[in-house]
Structure 1
Amino acid sequence: MALELRSVEHILEKRIPKNELDMVWKILYGGILPELSFSADVVNIVQNKNFDVKGYAFSAVKQKNQGKRIVRIGLIQNSVILPTTSPVEDQRNALHRRVCEMIDTAAKCGVNVICMQEFWTMPFAFCTREKMPWCEFAESAEHGPTTRLMQEMAKRHNMVIISPILERDLEHGDIVSNTAVVISNNGKFLGKSRKCHITRVGDFNESNYYLEGNTGFPVFETNFGRIAVNICFDRHHPQNWLMYGISGAEIVFNPSATVSGLSEPLWSIEARNAAIANSFYTCAINRVGTEWFEHEFTSGDGQPAHKKIGHFYGSSYVAAPDGSRTPGLSRTREGLLVAELDLNLCQQVREQFGFPDTQRLEMYAESLSKCVKPDFRPDVVTEVT
């Protein structure tokens, strides 16, 4: 069964002879990235705590007048811990403990910037259409318990942390938003970025809980490069990636929650293509596992009522502006992916291919300003008869 596949990479490694496998990786992933080695302490931790750790390094051409700009990033994919019928606080606390273990491990791997999956503090309950108890997971982006905990972790490990949560904005009518909180390496709240496009596909009934975000396309200047957060469904919109590139992002994280049978054929393409088109690194993060709910729900597609949204297939990966990418993490296991990036590669690829330099923003802007007007007519040329 497809749900039981560990990963595509695992199958290829088992079936393809070694002398041919290197060429396969070159064709599929742009080459074989050097693997990072970790201490015996890290190896023991992941064995005892039962999650995977994989690490790879991207490099750039050595420049005479500019030294390397090396940054290590971490991506965490995890499963829910307790049954979804457990008390809200118990579920959140269990996830806090689990993910903090993984963040501690990332620190031992030298990670400077880490990002968790979309809604990492709760089950993906937005398929149910039920408001209670799921809205109880919503918390303040600035002062909530998750942010306070992540501030402690960031300061302890000198690490920038991106924490995607369900936000309750206490200062604006208690509205609920799909929000990524960015915490600097000194433990201070740096800012937040809200999901711009809301999913309305299958069981993803997110518009029942929150609307499109209003924070625009912020890029955060950190001690480890300029970063941005493009949340889940936003990856399907090239314009979103473009806006972060225009503002100078060097690393764009895409925390997601997506299931097999819906988006998996798109998964390995979109973030990688965005990295190429915009000359930045992209980090695709997906949760893993199957989550069950107490009450049946339907998705309006004629299928029988069900209690699970599907299998979250993990497969988190990092892509570089030159089109190369890491193998994905497992489809079935929790994991930490560490990637060492030379940020000079962003500028080098931009100068080589000139994609951002040759884009015609003035023409796009003019055309877009026309197409949003009520009297717009498509610019279609037809044959005169």
Structure 2
Amino acid sequence: MAEAGFESLEQCLEKHLPLAELQEVKRILYGKETRKLDLPGVALEAASRGDFELQGYAFEAATEQQRKPRTVRVGLVQNRTPLPADTPVVKQVAALHRRMEAVVEVAATCGVNIICFQEAWTMPFAFCTREKLPWTEFAESAEDGPTTKFCQELARKHEMVVVSPILERDAAHGDVLWNTAVVVASSGAVLGKTRKNHIPRVGDFNESTYYMEGNLGHPVFQTQFGRIAVNICYGRHHPLNWLMYSINGAEIIFNPSATIGALSESLWPIEARNAAIANHCFTCAINRVGQEHFPNEFTSGDGKKAHRDFGYFYGSSYVAAPDGSRTPGLSRTRDGLLVAELDLNLCRQVNDVWGFKMTGRYEMYARELAEAVKPDYTPKIVKE
């Protein structure tokens, strides 16, 4: 299928456009050009052996007199599930742990300080099926489950913050399931967790069969390398969700996702980038790749034939900056690691130029939204 075989927008542009036109197109598409990082040869060789793409770019800020550069390197990981969905649960999780261990080794060689995996990274994205077993068996404790312990080992070994989105089993509250991201500090301590605030009910994305909207609000985590937040997947469609992480002080907002081409690919390059601009912060959009086939057929409730797969997850992970610039995306078809060097000083510098935080009428919005959610609300429409 063309959807699966089309490698990337960047590759297509570079293949068909003369250099001068290519530079203009990239300026319009991506804003200020990001500097390509000179990544270690040993890392590039390891990525080649491991069959995953490795790219690196840097965002730069102006030199200030009273603040030193606040440079941090983030790593975004996109991958396919290495084993078929009908493989025993323990084997699937173990294979994904091994895969991430190899990718994180390369990230460490590249100087990554904070790494984020894709949504529900330890399992196939089986929520389309609406079956309980075996998919609920992938759920783990966020505090001391095997995946969190695995990430703690990675964090301690590499002195790296690890953001690990998992299916959480909340034993303290009646074994409730949540779509959760665990944040492990560079010391190896569990810094905290955040939960997916918005649950889709779109086509095959019937995720409320498994978990409901998160109840932890919009926490921001102070790490050794900066303040981070995690806006899980469908939350990227909700501008106020990004806003609240920013209001709470996030300098980098990760968006681990699982989304398919037919549904959302035209939205993908816009939403996280727009959020970076609107909220004076860096955003990191992460999507898985490949196609996952399930043992039993399921339907979308749209009159179409029953099927055993979602379609293709299109990868294309990227980082966007508060000035509107962004990196090229990773491949649409291959596993990949994107390394981005950020100067967090850019957040305040852009804020000082555009002043969205200063000119935002938050008190007006809050007052009008408080009225709008009341059952007897009447929209303020002026008529002749």
Please state which band the TM-score falls in when normalised by the shorter chain.
over 0.9
Superposed counterparts of 1:225-240, under 5 Å: 225-240=226-241
Tell me how far 1:82 sits from its aligned partner: 0.7
Are 1:348 and 2:349 an aligned pair? yes
AA at the equivalent of 2:6: L
TM-score by length of 2: 0.99
Q: CA deviation at 1:44?
A: 1.3
Bigger drift between 40-49 and 113-122 goes to 40-49
Instruction: Give 1:29's aligned residue.
Output: 30
- Residue 27 of structure 1: how far off its partner (Å): 0.7
Query: Where in structure 2 are the equivalents of 1:1-385 lying within 5 Å?
Result: 1-383=2-384
Query: CA deviation digits over 1:191-212, x for unaligned, max 9?
Result: 0000001010000110100010
- What amino acid maps onto 1:206 in structure 2? E
Cα distance in structure 1, aligned partners of 2:94 and 2:265: 30
CA distance in 2, matches of 1:232, 1:73: 18
Separation (CA, whole Å) in 2 of partners of 1:197 and 1:24: 34
2: CA distance, partners of 1:247 / 1:38: 33
Cα displacement (A) at 1:23: 1.1
5+ long unaligned stretches in structure 2? none
4+ long deviations beyond 3 Å? none
SS in 2 for 1:186: coil
CA contact under 8 A between 2:246 and 2:281: conserved in structure 1?
yes
Does the 8 Å CA contact 1:58/1:342 hold for their aligned counterparts? yes
Q: What's the CA shift for 1:308?
A: 0.3
Task: State the Cα RMSD in Å.
Answer: 0.6
- 2:93 is paired with a residue of what secondary structure? helix
Following superposition, the deviation at residue 64 of structure 1 comes to: 1.0
1:24-69 CA deviation, whole Å, 9 max, x = no partner? 1111100321101112211210111100000000000100111100
Q: Take 1:32 and 1:375, find their aligned partners in 2: how far apart are those partners?
A: 50
Structure 2 counterpart of 1:41, one-letter code: V
Cα distance in structure 2, aligned partners of 1:373 and 1:44: 59
1:6-33, Cα deviation, whole Å (9 max, x unpaired):
0000000000011221111111100321
SS of 2:240's equivalent in the other structure is helix
* CA distance, structure 2, for counterparts of residue 65 and residue 363 of structure 1: 35
Contact 2:3 2:312 in 1 (8 A): no
Displacement of 1:2 in angstroms is 2.6
Q: Which moved more, 1:34-43 or 1:253-262?
A: 34-43
- Partner deviation per Cα, 1:222-269 (whole Å, 9 max, x = no partner): 110000000000000001000011111100000000001000000000
User: Aligned pairs, how many?
Assistant: 383
Q: Secondary structure at the match of 2:35?
A: coil
Distance 1:337 1:166 in 2: 24
SS state at 1:310 partner = coil
User: Cα distance, 1:296 vs. partner?
Assistant: 0.6
Partners of 1:269 and 1:20 in 2: CA distance = 22
Deviations 1:73-125 (A, max 9, x none): 00000000111111000000000000111011100000000000000000000
Superposition deviation, residue 3 in structure 1: 2.2
Aligned AA (1:223): Q
- On the 8 A contact 1:22/1:32 being kept in 2, the answer is no
1:79 aligns to what SS in structure 2? coil
Distance 2:44 2:117 in 1: 21
Q: CA deviation at 1:273?
A: 0.2
Cα deviation for residue 333 of structure 1 reads 0.2
- In structure 2, give the amino acid aligned to 1:213: G
Q: State the secondary structure of the residue aligned to 1:142.
A: coil
Q: 1:295 is paired with a residue of what secondary structure?
A: strand
C-alpha distance in structure 2 between counterparts of 1:7 and 1:22, whole Å: 17
